[in-house]
Chain A
Amino acid sequence: MVAKRKNRISMLLLILCSIGLVFTYLTINVDPRFYDFAMMLRRPKMIGMILAAFCIGTASIAFQSVINNYIVTPCLLGMNSLYILTNTVVAFTLGTYHPMFMNANVSFITNVVIMSVAATIIYGFMFRVTNYNVLYVLLSGTVMATLFGSISSSLMRMIDPNEYLTLQANLIAGFNNVNSDIIVMAVAMIVATIVLFYRDIKLLDVITLGKNQAINLGVDYDKTISRILLAVAIFISIATALVGPISFLGLILANVARQMFLTFKHSYLMMGSFLVGVVILLFGQTLIEHVFNFSTVISVFINLFGGGYFLYLIVKNKGA
């Protein structure tokens, strides 16, 4: 009972923090004369960050529960390498003046579609071949990711240096490309994914009991986990297309949430992980814009910090 009350308090605190940061981010250092202009710049970025936090936060919790290990992140699915590969191939074959680069909307939708379709085909195939052995699926995924990486680097060597700069600007995560059209598309896709996979996501609580227990309770385990992983891959695709590759964010979010909320209920954990994401991203972005004056990008911070956190987790929990 103590745990339950603690969970409620943590949730309340997180909600308050998020709301506070939303207001801070929107209003800090705003010149009242240019209020409307500032809002026009800041609002889409802020919504983009919230959406990314939602996708990465919930997907990471689901991913860890399916793998039954708390030091893994969905970056093992190789969506980052796929994103880099897609962009590199387009830059190499069509050039960076193609709408795919110049038009943020086209770029967003192409990326999400390509990544989701590729993930569905590749992972669907691997689940069947490995007879639903999820660890082998992941290992194959990382092999593919390395292969995509080799192809991208080989192509990058041959790209004209000027075009490369454009490509690179696209690849480094940032929220600057987010606009209202993209937000609408992203929200639509997120809702569609949730509706499509709602029944599987609801089974997450039971899935964490382990394969045998889940089957004993009448769950079609293999089908369910493969569908959940697919949903995770789509969520990560949306997030990556929104803000670029920020692989280690998920590790931080999921683990902080699990530490704050002493429960197995995924509705709680996912909500918590999402809010932690909102807090971290908004806080980080505010710092970068107003303290570091845009001298760095948030993804670099997140990956470095997340990497350190990963090592800390292994050493502290001994990987359990």
Chain B
Amino acid sequence: MVIRNLTKAYGDKVVVNNVSFEIPQGKVISLIGPNGAGKSTVLNMVTRLTPRDSGEIEFFGKDIKDWKSKELSKKLAILTQINHIQMKLTVKELVGFGRFPYSGSRLTEHDHKKVAEAIKYMELDEFEDRFIDQLSGGQRQRAYIAMVIAQDTDYVFLDEPTNNLDIYHASNMMQIARRLCDELGKTVVLVLHEINFASTYSDYIGAFKDGYLRIFGTVEEVMTQEVLKDLYNVDFEIMEINGKPISIHY
């Protein structure tokens, strides 16, 4: 996926300014930056949730907007921050929606198999007949990921998947993102607030500030004192733990 000169403005306020980068296939990519930097807006434009003002988003040789929405939903999946659903929907039924792009509301034998696999992969077997409003936050998050897995796409986009989760569930979430890439061969793009999650679990990092993409590169290239200070206006120490750069600020 190649992004060129992406721009978006609300009124006079330019929230995404001439952003260009390429998403390498089969890797985990994290987008970081302070609040209001435009990273979520980029994610939403790339996944057609928000219309863009100008720029190109090339995906498998074709611009995103030239794709049929239904075809696109077989290639890329986006999970925004979990919106509260008050419906009486069981985990199995939710995951079943992942097959909607393929079979509509009537699931085939093959779909049921895919759903069962996704539930198993996310270790949700014992909850599959529970209603999702009866689950804990972490379980619900996993149920949604299972739906994305059932959707069986090459690209997976997650908008702040660790938001509202405690440390245990958050790091669990990051391991899942890593496994989606390593075990299932997906390209995973995340918007993250935690710099150290980004550095520990991803291959590439894109750093945003004030609507500009400041730097896009490997973890080592981005995780430097200079870059982080430029982003957050806070002094950082960078240490190496288990071969991964970890930032400390105070």
**Chain A residues with a Cβ under 8 A of chain B:** 1, 3, 68, 70, 202, 205-206, 208-213, 215-220, 258, 261-264, 320
B90 neighbours in A (Cβ, 8 Å): 3
Known: A202-B104, A205-B105, A218-B71. 15 other contacts (CB 8 A): A3-B88, A70-B86, A205-B97, A206-B97, A210-B83, A212-B49, A213-B83, A215-B78, A216-B49, A217-B97, A217-B101, A218-B69, A220-B69, A262-B88, A264-B93
Q: Considering the complex, give the chain B residue whose CB is closest to the CB of A208.
A: B87
Any A CB within 8 A of the CB of B237: no
Q: How far is the CA of A1 from the CA of B105 in the complex (A)?
A: 19
A218 to B74, CA, bound (A): 8
Q: How far is the CA of A157 from the CA of B79 in the complex (A)?
A: 56
Inside 8 A of B71's CB, which chain A residues have their CB?
Answer: 218
A286 to chain B, nearest CB (A): 32
Give the CA-CA distance A219 to B100 in the complex, in Å: 10
Interface string of B107-123 (1 = CB under 8 A from A): 00000000000000000
Residues of B within 8 A of A202 (CB): 104-105
Inside 8 A of B202's CB, which chain A residues have their CB?
none
Give CA–CA (A68, B86) in the complex, Å: 8
With both beta carbons as reference points, the residue of chain A lying nearest to B93 in the complex is identified as A264
Whether A264 contacts B151 in the complex (CB less than 8 A), given A209-B97, A215-B49, comes out as: no
CB of A270, distance to nearest CB on chain B (Å): 14
| Cβ-neighbour of A210 out of B70, B85, B151 (below 8 A) | B85
User: Given A216-B77, A217-B73, A218-B72 in contact, is the A1-B129 Cβ separation under 8 Å?
Assistant: yes
Task: List the B side residues contacting A218 at CB < 8 Å.
Answer: 68-74, 100-101
Q: When the two chains form their complex, are residues B86 and A320 in contact, meaning their CB atoms are under 8 A apart?
A: yes
What residues of chain A lie closer than 8 Å to B47, measured between beta carbons? Answer: 216
Task: Please classify the interface of chain A as helix (H, G, I), strand (E, B), loop, or mixed, using the class held by over half of its residues.
Answer: loop
B80 within 8 A of A: yes
Asked if B89 is at the interface of the complex by the 8 Å CB criterion, the answer is yes
B214: which A residues are within 8 A, CB to CB? none
Q: How far is the CA of A70 from the CA of B101 in the complex (A)?
A: 27
CB distance from A76 to the nearest CB of B (A): 19
Contacts of A68 in B (CB 8 A): 86
15 pairs, CB–CB < 8 Å, chain A vs chain B: A3-B90, A205-B105, A208-B85, A208-B87, A209-B97, A212-B78, A213-B83, A215-B69, A216-B47, A216-B78, A217-B73, A217-B97, A218-B69, A218-B74, A320-B86
Complex CA gap A1/B90 in Å reads: 10
9 A-B pairs closest in CB distance: A218-B73, A218-B70, A264-B87, A210-B83, A212-B80, A264-B89, A262-B88, A217-B100, A218-B101
Instruction: Say how far A306's CB is from chain B's closest CB, in angstroms.
Output: 21
* Distance to closest chain B CB from A4 (angstroms): 9
Please, which residues of chain A bring their CB within 8 A of the CB of B86? 68, 70, 320
Q: How far is the CA of A33 from the CA of B86 in the complex (A)?
A: 55
Do residues B100 and A206 form an inter-chain contact, with CB atoms below 8 A? yes
Does residue B140 face the partner (Cβ distance < 8 Å to A)?
no
CB distance from B58 to the nearest CB of A (A): 19
Beta-carbon contact of A217 and B49 below 8 Å? no
Let me know if A217 and B80 touch, CB within 8 A: no
A263 CA / B85 CA spacing, docked (Å): 13
Report Cα–Cα, A261/B90, bound state, in Å.
13
Which residues of the other chain, A, contact B74 by a CB distance below 8 angstroms? 218
- Asked whether, in the complex, the Cβ of B88 is within 8 Å of the Cβ of A216, the reply is no
